[in-house]
Amino acid sequence: MINGPDFSLELAAQASGARRIAGVDEVGRGPLAGPVTAAAVVLDIARIPEGLNDSKRLSAKRRAELHDAIFAMAEVSIAHASVEEIDMINILRASHLAMERAIAGLSSAPDLALIDGNMIPRGLTVPAQAVVKGDGKSLSIAAASIVAKITRDRMMWDLAQQFPGYGWETNAGYPSKSHREALQNIGLTPHHRRSFKPVHNILYQEKSISD
């Protein structure tokens, strides 16, 4: 595959004795609202969906098609870290916690976890390799990126029906102009991350007014 992920990292790991390899990615570090979501995907080398790529490089329609193909052809585990956990332990640690949970949710432990990014979650109990920009290098990580994004986007769409006005059905909780304006005009929801500066500032303003 030209200018996209391939299976070379997985094949190298298999040549070193790793039979079961999971690609792991997360989505949702930047939003002001909603959980952070991670996926772990174990691909079958004989049944890899065609066209896997970094989820950010795919159209919404193609992501949805590949999401369904991944579930049909691979083993998938999805996990989250909640808004409360994000506020308690910080977004980096929470994203790693979601990754740890996704890996733990697989039917059996992988021989190697390929982790998107430059850090290996400290709570992992399986061998792991950090892969910078891994969703553009590893097909397994690319598959995980697609599953995580589709899953979280659908969660935020559902939440948008319960909390209209913030545009979560389109911005997925990210700090778009309309979302930031809604924070000022409507206020906070239970799904907003209090530790994030734009949300924290509104809380501080509200506290100052009440005082």
Contact predicate 12/139, CB 8 Å: no
Rounded to the nearest angstrom, the gap between the alpha carbon of residue 83 and the centroid of all alpha carbons in its chain is 14
Cα separation, 77 vs 172, in Å, equals 21
Q: Is 211 annotated as a binding residue?
A: no
Q: Is 25 annotated as a binding residue?
A: yes
CA atoms within a 13 Å half-sphere pointing along the CA-CB vector of 38: 32
Q: Is 116 annotated as a binding residue?
A: yes
Cα separation, 88 vs 91, in Å, equals 9
Number of neighbouring beta carbons within 10 Å of residue 116: 28
Specify the amino acid at residue 201: N
DSSP 48: P
Annotated binding-site residues for a divalent metal cation read 25-26, 116
Binding residues: 25-26, 116
